[in-house]
Structure 1
Amino acid sequence: MGGVNTPIDLTAAFAAFDQAWSPRLAARVNDYDIRLARFAGEHVWHVHNDTDEFFLVIAGEIEIALRDPDERTVVLPQGSLFVVPRGTYHKPSSAGGAQVLLVEPTGTLSVGDDHDEVPAHVDATTGHALELTS
């Protein structure tokens, strides 16, 4: 995992994997993971009861459907960031595919504390190691 002495090129990092909804652990800041994820299609409705979730769109565009309490959707083009407050059900998606940087407490499950049935294309994980070649 990247640290102070190991810069990470985001272009190379995203080129190192292609599986959507399967975040890679790029770095750790205190007790938080910096995760890189590819979004394609729809994720699953889920909620993180005890933590906010930070999204920064590196490439592409995403939508995040929210139930807060009424249902609405926010659109995040490239270069945009958004924080989903803890306790808010949400469902990320990307029709055209996107590269996203996420910040979450270490060990946070990608499908939250409560979620709809997890479809086969969604990886329920706390993150995978980012493996870069030299």
Structure 2
Amino acid sequence: MPQPVDIVQKLSLVTEQWSPKVVARLNDYEIKVVKVQGEFVWHSHDDTDELFLVVDGVLTIQLHDGDVVLHPGQLYVVPKGVEHCPIADGEVHAVLIEPSGVANTGSAGGDRTAAYDDSLSSSAR
């Protein structure tokens, strides 16, 4: 029988910063959990929007035309093609929703690109 996904429990298993883990799938989308702290890289996703939902902590999404500050229970959708840079003064726990196969660094690439990880998904393919 299918079981609900406990986001807080899945986040407790995450040990690496800036390395999203797939916890579920919805059609061609993946629901990922991630822990972040510090500043990421400026990047964009040319072909897709990116949803950030904060579970714990405060996340700032830096944009060229003004920052968006997210508190627990708040979400923001970065439109496709918009360059952005997440930053967190303290550790933040978040959920990301994006199409399957999207790299966390988008078009920027580089050494901060996380390896694909669906080990926390009960429906790992």
Q: Calculate the TM-score normalised by the size of structure 2.
A: 0.89
Partner Cα distance (2:42, 2:18) in 1? 13
Aligned partner (choices 66, 70, 75) of residue 76 of structure 1: 70
Matched, 1:30 2:27: yes
Aligned partner (choices 30, 45, 48) of residue 48 of structure 1: 45
Does the residue aligned with 1:96 lie in a helix, a strand or coil?
strand
- 2:108 matched residue in structure 1: 115
RMSD: 1.9
Amino acid at match of 2:114: A
Partner Cα distance (1:61, 1:81) in 2? 11
- 2:98 matched residue in structure 1: 104
Is the CA contact 1:108–1:126 (under 8 Å) kept in the aligned structure 2? Answer: no
Is the CA contact 1:64–1:74 (under 8 Å) kept in the aligned structure 2? Answer: yes
Does the residue aligned with 1:11 lie in a helix, a strand or coil?
helix
The gaps in structure 1 that reach 5 residues or longer are: none
Deviation readout 1:43-84 (Å, 9 max, x if unpaired) = 1100100100001001111000013xx3x2111011110000
Deviation readout 1:71-121 (Å, 9 max, x if unpaired) = x21110111100000000000011111100000000001100x21754xxx
Does the residue aligned with 1:46 lie in a helix, a strand or coil?
coil
Aligned partner (choices 109, 113, 120) of residue 130 of structure 1: 120
Amino-acid identity (%): 39
Is the CA contact 2:14–2:34 (under 8 Å) kept in the aligned structure 1? Answer: no
Is the CA contact 2:20–2:114 (under 8 Å) kept in the aligned structure 1? Answer: no
Is the CA contact 1:44–1:116 (under 8 Å) kept in the aligned structure 2? Answer: no
Task: Give aligned pairs, total.
Answer: 122
- 1:64 matched residue in structure 2: 61
Aligned partner (choices 58, 83, 90) of residue 84 of structure 2: 90
* Distance change in 2, residues 1:22/1:128 (3 Å): farther
Is the CA contact 1:22–1:128 (under 8 Å) kept in the aligned structure 2? Answer: no
The gaps in structure 2 that reach 5 residues or longer are: none
Q: Calculate the TM-score normalised by the size of structure 1.
A: 0.83
- 1:5 matched residue in structure 2: 2
